[in-house]
Copies of this chain bind each other. A is one copy, B any other.
Amino acid sequence: MEDKKDEKQQKAGELLEDAERAVINSIAETMDLYGVTASIGRLYATMYFKHDPLTLDDMKDDLGMSKPSMSTAVRKLQDINIVKKVWKKGSRKDLFIAEKNFFQYFSHFFGDKWEREAKLNLSSINYAIEKLQQVLHDEEIDEEMKQRAEQDLQQLEEYRSYCHWLERLTHSIESGEIFEFLPIEDPNPKDHNHNED
């Protein structure tokens, strides 16, 4: 009788591991699109299912990698704000816990990237537009060269409007405004009125 119960426990454990492993794999696989290496992605994915904070040694054991690797990996994850260092009375090892809110990850990652892209390009675009206008305002310049300048100018003005758009997108994500346009669905909608007839 006890045997049968133990067997069930074991099976349940396997189901759980199976479930976690599947998601860990897909997170690790998709995270490489977010500027982290596969290993770092896998570290995050592993931490995602830990409900208690981890030490560097825990990580090292879980992933079978060296401690310095874990040290740099976890710093990278802190940089992109999806892992936090936590403090706990007792342990003198550093403890880390994964931020599990993907919206935060998303906002931070794209906020940074797009802002950098917009800033860098806007700066060069504005510089270029100024130079081009110098060419265009000079009467004596060849028609051919002016035409090229005019073409460049028009292109760059479109490009600039793209960069401005990117900036606005960034702001609307950082401010949360975008969630008014695209609301987040309730993960577990409570079924209050028991409507099953």
Contact = CB atoms under 8 A, between A and B. Distances in A.
Contact of A135 (B15, B25, B149, B186): B15
A26 interface: yes
A86 B115 CA distance: 34
- SS class of chain A's interface: helix, strand, loop or mixed? helix
A64 to B, nearest CB: 22
Contacts of A129: 19
Interface residues of A, number: 74
Contacts of A141: 8-9, 12
Contacts of A185: 161, 164-165
Given A5-B140, A51-B148, A23 B156 contact: yes
Contacts of A145: 9, 12-13, 16
Contacts of A100: 155, 158-159
Interface stretch (A54-62, A68-76, A77-85, A116-124): A116-124
Give the one of A9, A12, A120, A165 with max B CB within 10 A: A12
Contact of A152 (B49, B155, B158): B49
Contacts of A188: 154, 157
